[in-house]
Amino acid sequence: MKLYELVGRNKEKGFSPYVWRTKMAIAHKGLEAETIPLTFTEIKDAVDFAGSKTVPVLVDGDHKVKDSWDIACYLEEVYPDQPSLFGGSIGKGQAKLLNFQIVKSLLMPLFRVLVADIHDILDEDDQAYFCLTREPRIGCSIEEARNTYRPALELFQENLWPYIQCLKTQKFFSGEAPAYSDYILYGMFQWSRIVSTKNIINQDDLLFEWRTRMDQLYDGLGGKVGLIN
C-alpha cells in the first residue's frame, strides 16, 4: 500500500488531520502503507492519477482511493476479516454523522487557532500558496491571525464539552475499544500537536487521558511523532 500525505519542511511529519484518520484506520486493520510525502503545491500533480486534488490518497494494488471517508469504507469492505472500523451499518452511519459534526464546531475554529503555526512549518513555495488561498478563508492576514487566535480557541474548547462528558463513562468514543470515530477525533488533535506548541487540551482533562491511550495504539504510531517545531 502507498499513502500520499501532506508535509511541511520536515518530510517525516505529516500533519493533515484527514491523513491521520487514514493512518490509524490502516493500522487498525493490521495493515501497513508506505507514505509518500507531498507539500501543498506538489499535491495537485502528484495525486491527479487518482482523480483527486487532496490527500489522503491510498493506492492498494490496482485500487486508487481518494478521500479519508471513502478510504475507511474501502478498507472496511476489502478487509472484512480484520478488526472492524465501524462495527456494522449502524456504527458506520453514526461515524459518517460525526464526520460532519466536527467540521464547524471543532475543525474550523481550530484551523483559525493553528493557521499561523501551519504557515510557519511550510516550505517557502507552500507559504506563498497558503497565504494566497487561506487568507481569504479566515478574513485576515496570517500575521493578524497569529495574535488573535484566543476567541477561536475558547470556542473550540467550549465545543469539546460533549466529548469530555462522554469520556466520563467510556474509554473511547467508540465504546470500550477504539474505532473509526476515535480516529476522526484523534486526527484533529494530531494536526494540532504536530504543527503547534499550543496546548489545546488541559493535562488534567479526560480528553488528555484519552489522547494518551490513543498515542499508545499500534506500537505508538501516533505518540511517537512528536512536535514538528
Sites of contact with its own copies (CB under 8 A): 84, 86-101, 103-105, 161-163, 165-166, 169-170, 172-177, 179, 181
**Closer Cβ to its own copies, 10 or 101, answer by number:** 101
Report the residue number, 89 or 147, with the smaller CB distance to its own copies: 89
**How many CB atoms sit inside 10 A of residue 89's CB?**
8
Residue 144 Cβ vs its own copies, minimum distance, rounded to whole Å: 25
**The amino acid at 104:** K
Buried b (16+ CB within 10 A) or exposed e, 137-148: ebeeebeebeee
* Shortest spacing between CB 6 and its own copies, in angstroms: 24
CB 122 within 8 Å of CB 130 = yes
Instruction: Identify whether the C-beta of residue 18 lies closer than 8 Å to the C-beta of residue 188.
Output: no
Choose between 12 and 158: whose C-beta lies nearer to its own copies: 158
* Cβ at position 201, least distance to its own copies in Å: 17
Backbone region of residue 175 per phi and psi (left: phi > 0; alpha: psi in -120 to 50; beta: other values) = left
Q: 188 vs 225, which CB is nearer to its own copies?
A: 188
Cα distance between residue 143 and residue 9, in whole Å: 20
In angstroms, the CA 35 to CA 18 distance is: 14
C-alpha to C-alpha distance for 193 and 188, rounded to whole angstroms: 9
Cβ of residue 117: shortest distance to its own copies, in angstroms?
Answer: 26
- The continuous run of DSSP H or E covering 60 comes out as strand 57-60
Least separation in angstroms between CB 87 and its own copies: 3
In the complex with its own copies, which residue's Cβ is closer, 9 or 92? 92
Closest to 182 (Cα-Cα) out of 94, 104, 112 = 94
Smallest distance, its own copies to C-beta of residue 155, A = 12
Q: Which is nearer to its own copies, 139 or 161 (CB)?
A: 161
